[in-house]
Structure 1
Amino acid sequence: MSSDALETLHRHTVCESPTGDARLLDALAEVLEADAAEAGFHTAREAHPTGDHLVWTLPGDGISGEPILLLSHYDTVWPAGTLAEMPWAVDGDVIRGPGVYDTKAGIAALLAAVPLLAGRAHPEVRVIVVADEEIGSPTAGGLVRAEAERARAVLGLEPPHPGGDLKTGRRGSTRARIEVTGVEAHAALDPDAGVNAIDELVDQLIRVRSLAASRPVLLNTGTILGGGRTNVVAGRAHADLGLRFVDPDDERAVLGSLAQLRPVREKARVTSRQLSHRPTWRPDHAGAVLLERIRAVADGIGQSLGGRPADGAADTNTTGSLGRPTVDGLAPRGGGAHARTEWVSVAGIAERTALLAALLGPDGLAG
């Protein structure tokens, strides 16, 4: 790996970028845009209060037609201050630090690959670097869909499977909130005048659990919040759920039922809403053809790659579900996503830099 790629990854890693922290995200966005411009991209932003999405364009040279779209993100799950406990470190082939694997090394590999195209024919390249991917890209979906509709192929710069294999499908992923409004009352003097929102929420969660258990659906109740005092009948409560689907029919059925929840208790009100939604991306012919082309290009530079579906969700859920030729996992190999053991391979960055340059070049995906 070139020292430039390592320096780039270090520069991006020490700029902490937790989802939702607009100030820190903006600071990293400035660094990313400067690095992208130096690599040869034209840069733009789609502004959002919680963090801007970055849109980079490398104009085509000698190859016309639809662009290749690459998807990445610069937000991480790590809160500000994590670097003090989980500092940047390089030990042999292992690089550690918050976000190095998911997925700042993917951006570093791309920025190292693009200058290798200088003087070579290549198609137009479009890149979207999302600011809120780690919470389901609630503000980026429209941008991703619009760019995907005009792309010849979509490459996801998310981490690969262990060992480096690519991702050819993903579970659908929805974050949903159930909200309950009850009636407050004194819990001892007049309990029958109240309607306990927490009790109602518990019953609703049992309903949802039963619904999910009847299908191959993963359901995680991530947070519950409600009430205030033990001597007051709780007037409000809500729960945030994470749901994962392998089949679009199950996805439609469960989300449809969730939207139609009705209260068990008289005078209670129950509503549900989606906080973010990534549709199920099932492996398809277009993706299989793209994977085989990627494997052929990789073989030509001495790399061996496989591909299979993944459990986690990403912005490629959106493009793959639209039927656009999509393959993900093109960031460098490593491990420990969302864990304090997070690491990325030095050699893996060099491998992916070479692969991305080959895929975007004259004998790559547009050749």
Structure 2
Amino acid sequence: MNLTSRAARALNGAAEATRDAVVERTMTLARLESPTGDTQRLTALARELVDGYAQCTGHTTLLPGPRGDHLVVDFPAEDMSLPHLLLVGHYDTVWPAGTLDTWPVAIRGDRLHGPGVLDMKAALALVQGAFGLLEQLGCPPAQPVRLVLVSDEEIGSPDGRAAVAQHLPGAAAVIGLEPPHPDGRVKTARRGSTRLRLTVTGREAHAGLDAAQGVSAVDELVDQLIRLRTLIRTRGTAVNTGRIEGGTRANVIAGRAHAEIGLRFTTPEAQRTTMGIFGALKPMRAQARLDTEVLSDRPAWPEQSSNWLIHHVQAVAAALGQDIAGAPAGGAGDTNLPGSLGLPTLDGLGATGAGPHARHEHILLTALAPRLALLTALLATALPTPDRRARGNLLNGPWR
């Protein structure tokens, strides 16, 4: 059956009635701190997530990772022969353990504040809420759904990328659970990103007695960074030197220095050109040595006018009385990989709010029920087959 106006009203009402439970679940998850690399805390949160998804028919498989397990949760469907819908997200945050001591999770007006509530504890709660609503309404998912949650997204998913890649074959489409744009628009493309470390090895010497015998790694690094700002003029590339370390004392010529550099790319061509520049760097001091190490890498996901998935989501949203728009995003995430491969991909289906990675991070409570209704409807509405895409008939859900 199609998503009728009667079914839409029922779903909107059920989502509104479920909102408080999703808020409580978000607060529970946010109070379990999960900084990237803290395997003990990540394991505690993973157990909580596994138990929660098990309550709504989800079966979880753990994929061991060096910084914590990645979770793969399978939800059965009415027709298990169909290709799966892949949901991707993460359960690590940027906030160090102890942040809650000075910044507790709290509701103030229409906002739920706290570390990680937007990025992305609320989305994890929304998924559980959506599958719970499907059970309540007696409406199973239209096709198998697989949820992949990685434990290292906040450092570029160096290991989690493989977990996502493992479940791309056979996927009909990919939906990311990152937050949307602050105005609610979903994300239709993402810039590529590379995080690398440029290390300089020089030679230590006494800065007063034997300065001529030393080779300053700090001076070489500074000169290289200035040089790179001149070399990297590729359109579509942004460079940020985020961290610099080097040397030991003011009276010692620095023997070692390094910088962590973040690169963002709007196109694959810009990414290739910029990485070629780094690969061709030569020392400016004869006895200095340069080493470049890629710490994480995400390919550019350019916007595609032929991406039918945004039109499908807009059609489902319209049936619920929602107006959903899309726009490219400046940040990178786990949807970069499927998007770069040309798979139908859309991101930003998580909770609406603002301030990710900042002390004003929050979600908007009034936007939670509509997003819950939309996510639930997307799970219950069959993805359009090629012939229905061509006819523009995108809605076909098993609604009662």
Query: Match for residue 247 of structure 1?
Result: 267
Q: Does 1:238 align with 2:258?
A: yes
Q: Does 1:349 align with 2:354?
A: no
Q: Does 1:180 align with 2:197?
A: no
Query: Match for residue 290 of structure 1?
Result: 309
Q: Does the Cα contact within 8 Å between 1:359 and 1:365 map onto a contact in 2? A: no
Give the distance between the partners of 2:359 and 2:250, measured in 1 at CA. 37
Q: Deviations over 1:245-279 (max 9, x none)?
A: 11211110001111221111111110111110111
Query: Match for residue 270 of structure 1?
Result: 290
Q: CA deviation at 1:365?
A: 5.7
TM-score (norm 2): 0.88
Q: How many residues end up aligned between the 2 structures? A: 366
Query: Match for residue 197 of structure 1?
Result: 217
Q: Does the Cα contact within 8 Å between 1:138 and 1:275 map onto a contact in 2? A: yes
Query: Match for residue 26 of structure 1?
Result: 43
Give the secondary-structure state (helix, strand or coil) at the position aligned to 1:282: coil
Which ranges of 4 or more aligned residues in structure 1 deviate by more than 4 Å? 363-366
Equivalent residue in structure 2 for 1:77, among 94, 100, 105: 94
Residue identity matched to 2:120: T
Q: Does the Cα contact within 8 Å between 2:180 and 2:348 map onto a contact in 1? A: yes
Give the secondary-structure state (helix, strand or coil) at the position aligned to 2:55: helix
Equivalent residue in structure 2 for 1:52, among 45, 48, 69: 69
Distance 1:257 1:355, change over 3 A: same
Query: Match for residue 343 of structure 2?
Result: 324
Q: Does the Cα contact within 8 Å between 2:120 and 2:350 map onto a contact in 1? A: yes
Give the distance between the partners of 2:173 and 2:373, measured in 1 at CA. 18
Residue identity matched to 1:123: Q
Give the distance between the partners of 1:211 and 1:20, measured in 2 at CA. 34
Q: Deviations over 1:179-230 (max 9, x none)?
A: 1111111111111111111111111111211122353321110000111011
Give the secondary-structure state (helix, strand or coil) at the position aligned to 1:319: helix
Q: Does the Cα contact within 8 Å between 2:150 and 2:163 map onto a contact in 1? A: no
Give the distance between the partners of 2:332 and 2:91, measured in 1 at CA. 16
Q: Does the Cα contact within 8 Å between 1:180 and 1:236 map onto a contact in 2? A: yes
Q: Does the Cα contact within 8 Å between 1:57 and 1:127 map onto a contact in 2? A: yes
Give identity over the alignment, percent.
48
Give the secondary-structure state (helix, strand or coil) at the position aligned to 2:219: helix
Residue identity matched to 1:224: I
Query: Match for residue 9 of structure 2?
Result: none
Q: Does 1:123 align with 2:143?
A: yes
Residue identity matched to 1:98: P
Equivalent residue in structure 1 for 2:244, among 191, 201, 224: 224
Give the distance between the partners of 1:178 and 1:92, measured in 2 at CA. 46
Residue identity matched to 1:104: K
Give the distance between the partners of 1:281 and 1:293, measured in 2 at CA. 19
Give the distance between the partners of 2:192 and 2:230, measured in 1 at CA. 19
Q: Does 1:312 align with 2:331?
A: yes
Residue identity matched to 1:20: G
Equivalent residue in structure 2 for 1:303, among 305, 311, 322: 322
Q: Does 1:359 align with 2:381?
A: no
Give the secondary-structure state (helix, strand or coil) at the position aligned to 2:232: helix
Query: Match for residue 88 of structure 1?
Result: 105
Give the distance between the partners of 2:216 and 2:381, measured in 1 at CA. 65
Q: CA deviation at 1:93?
A: 2.2
Equivalence map 1:134-213=2 (5 Å): 134-213=154-233
Q: CA RMSD in A?
A: 1.5
Give the secondary-structure state (helix, strand or coil) at the position aligned to 2:78: coil
Equivalent residue in structure 2 for 1:8, among 25, 47, 61: 25
Q: In terms of mean alpha carbon deviation, does 111-120 or 249-258 score higher?
A: 111-120
Q: Does the Cα contact within 8 Å between 1:18 and 1:78 map onto a contact in 2? A: yes
Equivalent residue in structure 2 for 1:110, among 122, 127, 130: 127
Q: Deviations over 1:311-367 (max 9, x none)?
A: 011111111001110000001211111111111012222112111111111455674
Q: Deviations over 1:164-187 (max 9, x none)?
A: 110000111110110111111111
Q: Does the Cα contact within 8 Å between 1:157 and 1:331 map onto a contact in 2? A: yes
Q: Deviations over 1:28-69 (max 9, x none)?
A: 111111111112100011112311111100122235321000
Residue identity matched to 2:362: W
